[in-house]
């Protein structure tokens, strides 16, 4: 008989620890705390928590936050949160070294955010202060680099979810020189 790990509700769920990119580690190894599932947040709380996780190099966990928003929020907003989750998963795959999956998910998320006929995403901003045009540009640029074989550090490549005018003042992030 195959004994499986179960969660508190009896569903099969691996109890193995995970690293910051969501990869399973061996039982007993130290891992990062899992993102709780099913948390209902306001849109502002969703964006803030996802940004914190992205900045910490944990895009897999940020995707879980976006997934909660798309599943618990109004149906009309589901495409926004799903597209943001795809960007986070694309960054996750890219940071794990999966160039094909990473670039495809980044492009899929960018296309979903841009919407039909949006071209390069150079329009106005998005709901909740989300920098939709900036995220579309970021995802497309990163997808190109990933497809060309660039190594990706998830924290260094973390996107800014809000337009600069919609964020509290933060120190400038050092970039490549």
pLDDT at 3 (0 to 100): 64
Would you put residue 22 in left (φ > 0), alpha (ψ -120 to 50) or beta? Answer: left
Q: Residue-wise over 20-51: b if at least 16 C-beta within 10 A, else e?
A: bbbeeeeeeeebbeebeeeeebebeebbbbbb
pLDDT at 154 (0 to 100): 97
Q: What angle do CA 66, 172, 97 make, to 5 degrees?
A: 50
pLDDT at 165 (0 to 100): 63
pLDDT at 118 (0 to 100): 43
pLDDT at 13 (0 to 100): 60
As a whole number, mean pLDDT of residues 148-171 equals 81
User: Quick check: pTM over 0.85?
Assistant: no
Percent of the chain with pLDDT over 70: 79
Query: HSE-up of 82 (CA within 13 Å, CB side)?
Result: 11
pLDDT at 147 (0 to 100): 96
Is residue 91 scored above 50 in pLDDT? yes
Is residue 36 scored above 50 in pLDDT? yes
């Amino acid at each position: 008989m195959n004994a499986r790990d179960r969660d508190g509700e009896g569903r099969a769920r691996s109890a193995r620890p995970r690293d910051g990119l969501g990869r399973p580690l061996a039982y007993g190894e130290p891992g990062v705390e899992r993102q709780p599932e099913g948390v209902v947040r306001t849109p502002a709380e969703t964006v803030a928590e996802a940004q914190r996780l992205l900045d910490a190099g944990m895009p897999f966990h940020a995707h879980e936050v976006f997934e909660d928003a798309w599943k618990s929020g109004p149906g009309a907003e589901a495409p926004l949160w799903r597209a943001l989750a795809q960007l986070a998963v694309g960054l996750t795959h890219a940071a794990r070294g999966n160039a094909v999956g990473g670039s495809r998910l980044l492009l899929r998320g960018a296309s979903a955010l841009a919407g039909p006929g949006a071209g390069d995403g150079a329009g106005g901003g998005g709901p909740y202060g989300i920098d939709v045009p900036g995220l579309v540009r970021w995802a497309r640029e990163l997808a190109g680099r990933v497809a060309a074989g660039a190594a990706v550090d998830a924290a260094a490549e973390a996107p800014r979810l809000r337009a600069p005018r919609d964020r509290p003042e933060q120190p400038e992030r050092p970039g490549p020189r």
